[in-house]
Amino acid sequence: MTWAIFRKSVRDSWKGMFGWGIGLGLYALLVIGLYPSVAAQKADYEKLMESYPDSMMDMFGTDDLFSPIGYLQSQLMLYIPLLLGIYAILQGLNAVTGEERKQTMDTLAALPIPRWQILTEKFLATLVIMIGILTQFFLSLVLGRALWPELDISVDKLAMATYASLLPIMVVAGVAYLLSATLPMHRRWGGIISALFLIGTYLIYALGNASQTIEKFQPFTPFEYYDAVKILKSGLQIADLLVLIIATLVLWVASLYTFEQRDLGT
């Protein structure tokens, strides 16, 4: 592999990588910065929460919203896969349909690089970009923890929870790559279907905690296999992460297959 497409894809996205990383980092610092005041009024908040229905509390994925772990999950970690899922969709759609729409695909595909390699280099670039964003986010968590020690969570647990969120994000990226590789020139439809997948599975996951009817569909969402509270309390959940890794690999292989089969648009 020459890695030319990988390098170019990373280079094309470095502004986005730092934009998203800094944005999420500042948001993390804001959330962590508010924690000391929340912790100081913990008793009042808990009293207030008692008046809320249980189903609403279930949606936050924890029954302890004011401990450091519960607070971080409900105010921050819960949204990271959702937010970065949006960027993953954009990355996936740009990978193939973006090149076709810009009419640069013919030049790319006429290079002595097999189609599977073009897609693989782009997919790996997306992976690296997401790691770059999550690293900035993680550094913000470490900084926030240093500035406001009330958020008493170990650095290694913060690292595990942060980098494990990469896996549901890559599942979403995989869906976008598959649609991009399958639907020539239909970027809009690829975008709509990917967004429906992201938001739909997220809602199923969130509402499933509060509804038994929806709960049975939770295993079909990537978010079911990323539980930041469990990770922050007990470390990585290997079985869950394996499910996400396998799902990502299946989507990636399916993308390679469909991209290999079809005519390229100009």
Interface residues with other proteins (CB under 8 A) are 2-5, 7-8, 12, 102-104, 106-107, 109-114, 263-264, 266
Shortest Å distance, C-beta 85 to other proteins = 25
Shortest Å distance, C-beta 115 to other proteins = 9
For residues 125 and 245, give the distance between their C-alpha atoms in angstroms, rounded to a whole number: 17
* DSSP annotation of 94: I
What is the CB neighbour count within 10 angstroms for residue 189?
Answer: 12
CA dihedral 136, 138, 139, 141 (to 10 degrees): 130
Nearer to other proteins by Cβ, of 20 and 197: the residue is 20
Shortest Å distance, C-beta 119 to other proteins = 14
CA nearest neighbour of 241 among 135, 177, 163: 163
Nearer to other proteins by Cβ, of 17 and 244: the residue is 17
Shortest Å distance, C-beta 111 to other proteins = 5
Nearer to other proteins by Cβ, of 126 and 248: the residue is 126
Shortest Å distance, C-beta 5 to other proteins = 7
Nearer to other proteins by Cβ, of 100 and 240: the residue is 100
Shortest Å distance, C-beta 264 to other proteins = 5
Nearer to other proteins by Cβ, of 101 and 233: the residue is 101
**b/e code 239-260 from CB counts within 10 Å (16+ = b):** ebbebbeebbeebbebbbebbe
CB-based contacts of 174: which residues, under 8 Å, 6+ apart?
Answer: 92, 247, 248, 250, 251, 252, 255
CA nearest neighbour of 122 among 1, 250, 247: 1
Q: What is the Rg, in whole angstroms, of the alpha carbon atoms belonging to the chain?
A: 20
Nearer to other proteins by Cβ, of 95 and 229: the residue is 95
For residues 167 and 169, give the distance between their C-alpha atoms in angstroms, rounded to a whole number: 5
Nearer to other proteins by Cβ, of 113 and 195: the residue is 113
Shortest Å distance, C-beta 110 to other proteins = 4
What is the CB neighbour count within 10 angstroms for residue 215?
Answer: 16
CA nearest neighbour of 49 among 69, 38, 63, 33: 63
CB 100, CB 264: distance < 8 Å: yes
